Amino acid sequence: YRLSLVQESSVMEEEDECPELVPIKEKQTGPAVQIPVTIITGYLEVEPVLCWSAGSALEKSLAVSQAGELYEEWLALRNGRLCCSVKYDNGLKAIENLMEKKGKFDYILLETTGLADPGAVASMFWVDAELGSDVYLDGIVTVIDAKYGMQHLTEEKPEGLINEAARQIALADLTIINKTDLVNESELVELRDTVRSINGLVKILETQKSSMLTITFEVPGSVSEDLLNIFIQNLLWEKTFKNEAGLPMAVIRLKGILSVQQKQKKVMLHGVHELYELDETPEFWADQEPRINRLVFIGRNLDGEILKKEFISAMSNKDCVE
């Protein structure tokens, strides 16, 4: 409260009433709203989104826009990855810089490589907690393969090395036992009990047929734009491509850098579910540069060999465009 004096004359008499205390509304300057980050990991179960060893060249290509800046779904690090080995000053800072350029996110889901130590990734958020970071660690989710989980957990390691699968469970706030349809009840009970013996406080969810797959491949040459559209539409719209089990491939995310006939610039492909677009980039194919189509598919029931075969078939099927 502040003291406010109300006077009708320049001099106050002793018998005047005590001046009134008037509350002053102060502007609230509380802490800024932080963005929660959830780390998802799993021993050879999670297909990493932000760390593709096979797709690093494509990731780098897709990350550059016309202005030389990053697209909002990519992070640029010196080694091209956001993995367990990154340090605070180039891992967390990359996320913060991205938010400064593109605005704040509602939520961040950070996927690690299958062999990653989530503690190393989490530590960059713990270390930064008192530095006023815009993000904070919300939790760690570990995905466990029901069929091979016990094999991973009982694998003997050389002396001095920690079992990665066990460590991922030990650090988890939530575990997801996936592919439970591939094991019988006794196997599932054994796995569940083993998880509990490692982390007695962790919450366990059980799911079936929920693995996302990431498929990447490269094909040299140039493709007709008409044939390319037919290939994409058969995949995303008609769902004509099936895996060896006869299940239709469901693509959730599609990315690529393509060499399209009669175009001197590289063409970028972006697709989400049934929607996709093909855009020319500002980058020309160099005279001595081999024209290579690089594609990444994220989804369910995917088969890389079949997808690659269908794409090559589309490239060579000239009858479709006549």
Give the pLDDT band of residue 317 (cuts 50, 70, 90): low
> If you average pLDDT over every residue of the chain, what do you get?
75
Q: What share of the chain is helix, strand, coil (3-state, %, to 5)?
A: 30, 25, 45
Integer-rounded Cα Rg, in Å, for the chain is 28
Using CA atoms, how far apart are residues 104 and 52, in angstroms rounded to an integer? 25
Question: What pLDDT score does 3 carry?
Answer: 30
Contacts of 130 (CB under 8 A, 6+ apart): none
Amino acid symbol at 161: L
Q: From CA 188, how far away is CA 113, in angstroms rounded? A: 25
* pLDDT the model gives residue 227: 94
Residue 310's pLDDT is what?
Answer: 94
- The arithmetic mean of pLDDT across residues 3-15, rounded, is 39
| Secondary structure element (H or E) that encloses residue 266, with its range | strand 265-272
Q: Could you give the CA distance from residue 36 to residue 120 in angstroms, rounded to a whole number?
A: 18
Least confident range from 110-124, 149-163, 213-227: namely 110-124
User: Rounded to whole angstroms, how far apart are CA atoms 99 and 97?
Assistant: 5
pLDDT at 112: 74
Q: What pLDDT is attached to residue 239?
A: 93
pLDDT of residue 111: 77
pLDDT band at 221 (very low <50, low <70, confident <90, very high): very high
Beta strand 21-22 with 275-284: parallel, antiparallel or unpaired?
A: unpaired
Average pLDDT over residues 37-58: 56
Average pLDDT over residues 88-99: 62
pLDDT computed for residue 128 by the predictor: 55
Residue (of 254, 256, 294) closest to 273 by Cα position: 254
CB proximity list for 152: less than 8 A, separation 6 or greater: 43, 44, 145, 163, 164, 165
The answer to whether residue 78 scores a pLDDT higher than 90 is: no
| Average confidence (pLDDT) over 7-25 | 47
Q: What is the DSSP string of 272-285?
A: ETTEEEEEEEEEEP
Q: Is the pTM for the entire model greater than 0.85? A: no
Q: If pLDDT is split at 50, 70 and 90, which confidence band does 55 have?
A: very low
Instruction: Report whether pLDDT(86) > 50.
Output: no
Q: Is a pLDDT exceeding 90 seen at residue 211? A: no
Sequence ranges of the chain with CATH classification 3.40.50.300: 35-49+77-206
Token pair belonging to 90:
């180039």
| Element holding 316 (H helix, E strand) | helix 304-316
How much is the average pLDDT of 149-174? 88
- Confidence at residue 231, expressed as pLDDT on a 0 to 100 scale: 96
Mean pLDDT, rounded, for 32-47: 72
pLDDT 10s digits, 262-276: 999 999 998 888 999
Cβ(284)–Cβ(257) under 8 Å? no
Q: What is the DSSP letter of 236?
A: I
Reported as a pLDDT band with limits 50, 70 and 90, residue 100 is confident
Predicted confidence at residue 158, as pLDDT, reads: 84
Residue 239: which region, alpha, beta or left (left: phi > 0; alpha: psi -120 to 50)?
left
Tell me the one-letter amino acid at 21: L
* Residue 186 to residue 304: CA distance in whole angstroms: 33
Q: What percent of the chain has pLDDT over 90?
A: 38
Task: Identify the pLDDT of residue 17.
Answer: 57
Region 135-153: mean pLDDT is 89
φ, ψ (nearest 5 deg) of residue 122: -65, -30
Tell me, what's the pLDDT at 249?
Answer: 94
Q: Which two tokens stand for residue 110?
A: 């950070």
- Tell me how far apart the alpha carbons of residues 272 and 280 are, in angstroms, rounded to a whole number: 18
* In contact, 137 and 126? CB cutoff 8 Å: yes
Q: Shortest CA distance to 143 belongs to which of 35, 49, 41?
A: 41
Q: Which CATH superfamily is domain 35-49+77-206 in?
A: P-loop containing nucleotide triphosphate hydrolases (3.40.50.300)
Give the three-state DSSP class for 245: coil
Instruction: Grade residue 114 by pLDDT with cuts at 50, 70 and 90.
Output: low
pLDDT given for residue 91 in this prediction: 61
Write out the two tokens for 125: 């958020």
Q: Where do you find CATH 3.30.1220.10 in the chain?
A: 212-316
Give the pLDDT confidence of 278-291 residue by residue, as tens digits: 999 999 999 889 99
User: Could you tell me which residue, 149 or 36, shows the higher pLDDT?
Assistant: 149
Among the four given CATH numbers 3.30.1220.10, 1.10.645.10, 3.30.2320.80, 3.40.50.720, the one describing domain 212-316: 3.30.1220.10
As a whole number of angstroms, the longest Cα–Cα distance in the chain is 106
